[in-house]
Amino acid sequence: MERIVTESEIFPLIEGRSVLLNGPRGAIIEPLDFSIEPGTLTIFLGHAGSGRTSLLLALTGRLKLSKQSQLYVLGYELPDDMRAVRNESEIIGVNDLDRLDEQVTVGATVRERLSLYARAWTHIPRVTDAKVNEILAPIFGTRPIPQARDLVYELSELDNLLFRIALAMISQPKLLAVDNIDSLHEDQDRAVLLEILNKVASTGVTVVASATGEEALRVVVEMPHNIVILNNSSEER
């Protein structure tokens, strides 16, 4: 497998030309051109059926676009190097990929994720509150951090999402995708989320997210982010 460019030369980090995804009943993603610089937050806006989730899956190497598409991510050409992009990216908010068992404790969930990235036969001890704090603090910031014994279902809507982001960051991804950020029902929660995503981007991680419309961002329009409008689709997917 050969990189298109070296990591130090990646600019932009994501380059899409005529990005397109066709389905049995028409276009899921209509032709789209965009470029995304490293360490930025970009939000793709589009209603249900505009291909928001499909696009994020494609950007993280988890879905193959139509052949006409030209897409370069992290210096790799897709779809040829989908596995390499998957290994360096994480996606949040797609239930089939990152849904948590709500009957399990926070500590057990953290331990399971640590085991996933540990070397074979490495013993991962029971996760303490201190370990939970170490992993969650960079994302939760000044928010109260859940304790190891807390059950996942006890977390608020926002804290559940932040917990999943913190778990994703264990792998030290270069690209983080967060789908459907306006699934958070409270304006204040969305404001907190976007502030945190900007903070993640400021560390050098490139963040891409999706939302249904700019009204979801109205409480935080002053925060730095890029907007890409997806072409409307008449069919919900």
So what's the pLDDT on residue 60? 98
| pLDDT of amino acid 223 | 58
pLDDT tens for each residue of 195-229: 999 999 999 999 999 998 766 555 444 556 688 88
Of 230 and 210, the structure prediction assigns the larger pLDDT to 210
Considering the entire predicted model, what is its pTM? 0.88
Quote the Cα angle for 109-172-151, to 5°.
Answer: 15
CATH topology of domain 7-88+173-232: Rossmann fold (3.40.50)
Task: Flag the least confident range among 78-82, 89-93, 115-119.
Answer: 115-119
pLDDT-based confidence at 158, cuts 50/70/90? very high
**Band of the pLDDT at 98, cuts 50, 70, 90?**
confident
Share above pLDDT 90 across residues of the chain, in percent, rounded to a whole number: 66
- Among 48-62, 131-145, 188-202, 213-227, the range of highest mean pLDDT: 131-145
Per the CB < 8 A criterion, the answer to whether 86 and 73 are in contact is no
Among 132, 18, 147, 22, smallest CA distance to 71 is for 18
The dihedral through the CA atoms of 49, 55, 57, 61 has a sign that is positive
- In 3D space, the residue among 208, 232, 227, 207 whose CA is nearest the CA of residue 217 turns out to be 227
Per-residue pLDDT for 3 more than 50? Answer: no
User: What pLDDT was estimated at residue 216?
Assistant: 59
For the chain, give the number of residues: 237
For residue 217, which phi and psi values (nearest 5 degrees)? -105, 5
CATH 3.40.50.300 in the chain is located at 7-88+173-232
